[in-house]
Structure formats: C-alpha cells, structure tokens
Structure 1
Amino acid sequence: MGAYQTKEALEQNLRDAGCEERCVREFMQDLEQDRMQAGLRLLNQHRRSLLDAMHREQKRIDCLDYLLYQIRKNNI
C-alpha cells in the first residue's frame, strides 16, 4: 500500500477526491494486479475531469463578478 496503512484508507482518499465507486474499484483492481500505469491513467482522467469542472465554475463566477461590477458601476 505504500504510504497508506490500509486498503480502506486508500479507498477513502479516492472517495474524498470525488472518485465514483466504479473508479475506486478499477483503481484498486489495477493496484492489486500490479498495473500501476493503468491506475495512474485512471486517476489522471479523474483529475482532468475535476479541473474541467473547476474551470467551468470559475467562468460562472467571473460572469457573476462582471455583472456585479456593472451593477455597482451604474448604481442599479
């Protein structure tokens, strides 16, 4: 398990990172079958998905900030 003391701790970390149960299962299978490259690919895909979601939300925040700025500027 490396830095993780238990299988359960590793699984919980994956869940805390937003991995769905399918992702947790696949990663754990890859780990148990010594297919670390496949497991890393899976985690990198999940990371990209999280970053894409974060960027979408940031764009929404930026739009809202601009609207607030315009409203304050024009005293609406």
Structure 2
Amino acid sequence: MEKNAKKEVIKQNLKDAGCDSETIDSFMICKEKGTSKEQVKLLEKHRIKLLDKVHENQKCIDCLDYLVYQINKENEEEK
C-alpha cells in the first residue's frame, strides 16, 4: 500500500474510533517520529475516555430499566 494511502487509512480508523482532530494530529506526528510508545499512550487515553462514556451510558440505561421495572410492578399490583 502506498505510504500516503496508508496514512489516510490510519486517519480514517482514528476518526471512526471517535478521535478528535487534535488526537489524530498528535498520533500522526508520533508516527512520523517513530515514537510508538507515545502512539500507544494516545490510543490508551482515548480508550479510557470511550470506556468512561460507556459507563455513563450504562448508568442511564440502568435508571431507565429501573423505571420500567417500577411501572410494570405497579401495573401488576393494580390487577
């Protein structure tokens, strides 16, 4: 694969992973410098952000599930 095409594939992968332009630029600079440890640090940092969002959303889902449970429980008691 051509070098520029490979760069574009990497950039697209980072975009698809939800990285912002600053993270993508930093990652590509690290890639050019050959600092793979820094690249991994950037990816791990972004992964932690994504995981935090997953946990936040899970809490929201749990709240909704509880409300549905309460409504269903009330409906059962009324019968």
| TM-score, shorter chain, exceeding 0.5 | yes
1:39 aligns with 2:39: yes
Consecutive unaligned residues of structure 1, counting only runs of 5 or more, are: none
Partner of 1:72: 72
Alpha-carbon distance in 1 for matches of 2:30, 2:39: 5
Partner of 1:16: 16
Specify the SS of the correspondent of 2:34. Answer: coil
- Residue-by-residue CA offset, 1:5-40 (whole Å, 9 max, x unaligned): 611001000000000000000001001101110111
Displacement of 1:46 in angstroms is: 0.2
TM-score, normalization by structure 1: 0.91
Query: Partners in 2 of 1:68 and 1:8 — Cα distance?
Result: 45
How far did 1:56 drift?
Answer: 0.3
Runs of 4+ in 1 over 3 A off after TM superposition: none
More helix by share: 2
5+ residue gaps, structure 2: none
